[in-house]
Amino acid sequence: MIGSRLFKNLVARRMGRGTEIARWQVKNGAHIVDVCLQSTDRDEMKDIQPFYEKLINISRRPIMIDTTDPRAIELALTYCQGKSLINSINLEDGEEKFERTCPVARKYGAALVVGCIDEDKLQAQAFTRERKLAIAQRSYQILTDKYGIPRRTLSSTRWCSLAPPATRNYIGGAVETIEEFGLIKESILM
């Protein structure tokens, strides 16, 4: 939600007004409330308590915690009810994000959104379905075998392969992403 200028301005002026966007989203059919309080203009750790205390009183939807700070993830999870999601981890910096985030996810039973990105300097953001699948398979293996993330918590809906299909460099990207979901389901999750 912080990506929205409206949300950022509401949080800056009055924390409770920011939760009105979440209420509007739920009223209009949102199944998950995506919350990002990370901002260069504010202290995320100080914003978590007042925002989440208000949010949990207006929505019973699962919350997707969108931040890169493991301390903020853990603090936000202490306010969440039921299953939450952490958005997102990937292999862009090797296993660093997995190492910092997986223990917190396991402790609180949170699901992980995993991006098909790795440390390859030439093509970190996977484009083809084959490359996306290779990164997903590697991530899955590391998550389950090394970090003990339960296999049953990893579903095809929690793998993320986003590429801007409208740009010249990503022509055909939407088709590759759709096809990749089928490949992940068949080869990893079955």
136-169 pLDDT, tens digit per residue, is 999 999 999 999 998 777 654 455 555 445 555 6
- In order of their start, the domains of the chain are 1-82 (no CATH), 86-190 (3.20.20.20)
pLDDT at 1 over 90: no
**CA dihedral of residues 131, 143, 86, 49 (deg, nearest 10):** -150
Measured distance CA(26)–CA(62) in Å, rounded: 11
Token pair for residue 145?
Answer: 């075998």
pLDDT at 15 over 70: no
Output 126 or 189, whichever has higher pLDDT: 126
**CA dihedral of residues 75, 114, 145, 124 (deg, nearest 10):** -120
Contact 22, 7 (CB under 8 A): no
Contact 98, 147 (CB under 8 A): yes
Measured distance CA(50)–CA(27) in Å, rounded: 22
Q: For position 156, what pLDDT does the model report? A: 45
For residue 146, which amino acid is it? K
